[in-house]
Each structure stands twice: as C-alpha cells, then as structure tokens.
Amino acid sequence: MSIIRLSKSINAPVDKVFEFVTDPSNWTRYVTSLVDVRDLSPDCPKKNSTFKWEYKMFGMKFKGNGVVIENIKNKSFGLSLEGKMPIKEHYDFVDKGDSTTELTVSIEYEMPPVMEEFVPKKLIERVNNLEAKNVLDKIKMLCEGG
C-alpha cells in the first residue's frame, strides 16, 4: 500500500471548503480520474453511507463500491473505495482564521497487479502524486471562486 499526503492553503472559510469537498456532486469535479459516482445512499455523505464509483487510469477502468468512513463537520472527511484498485482518501480541514483553510489530503492506494505488469511502479507513483496535487489545486480554485 502506498500513501500520498499533501496540504494546501485555501482562501475560503472552512465551512465552505468542507461543504464543497463532502458534496458527492463535486467529487468528479475535483478528482480528475474519478469519472462516475452513482447509486448513493439517501443519507450520503454521512458516515457509513454508500455509493458506487468508476475510476479511469492509463486507459483502464476500475469500478467498485465506496463508503463514507468519516464525516466530522469542518474537521475531517474520509472515503473507502473498495474494488480491484482499493483507495482510502482522508481530508483534514484546519480553520486558520481570516477565512483561510488548511486542507490536507491523504490517499492510500494499492495498484492492481495487472496494472503493474504494463506500467512501471515509479510512473504510477508519479501520476498518483500529480493527481493528489491536482485534487488540491482544483478544490482551491473552485472554493476561491475561480
């Protein structure tokens, strides 16, 4: 299992950033490789709510079931994506005052053996690090109104 952890300062109040990140309708907006989220349980994004997901990487599609594993208002939010490419995403929100939020994303992932047969592990790591950086950059841009 590999882990990526990155942080970014966002010029927006913590409640705005938290609401944006936890809204399922935004997930495909800020996670570039996440192409579909559907069949959400009615209470999503509360803890233990469920959904189905589809992710695309290197031209390969991966599907699975997801569950919200944590949702503490304006503090933390976590998802577990189960399937051939298991992923755990965790977001920490810190109110820095003056309408500024420090957002940290931690992503744990395990690449399917079939992908490692075709794509070097170092390239997968570089792409996943870039994806995590893009997630934070998109959240920043969208929450700051850009």
Residue 39 CA from chain centroid, whole number: 18
Percent of the chain residues topping a pLDDT of 70: 96
Q: What pLDDT score does 115 carry? A: 65
Domains of the chain: 2-143 (3.30.530.20)
SS3 46: coil
Distances (CA, A) of 123 to 1, 19, 21, 42, 119: 15, 33, 27, 38, 7
The predicted pLDDT at position 26 comes to 96
Distance between CA atoms of residues 11 and 138, nearest Å: 13
Percent of the chain at pLDDT above 90?
71
Indicate the pTM of the whole model: 0.90
Both tokens of residue 116?
Answer: 């490692």
Q: For residue 124, is pLDDT > 90?
A: no
Q: Quick one: which of 89, 84, 82 has its CA closest to 128?
A: 89
pLDDT of 114 above 90: no
Tell me if 14 sits within 8 A of 139, measured CB to CB.
no
Q: Which residue in this structure is represented by tokens 């695309």?
A: 56
Please provide the size of the chain in residues: 146
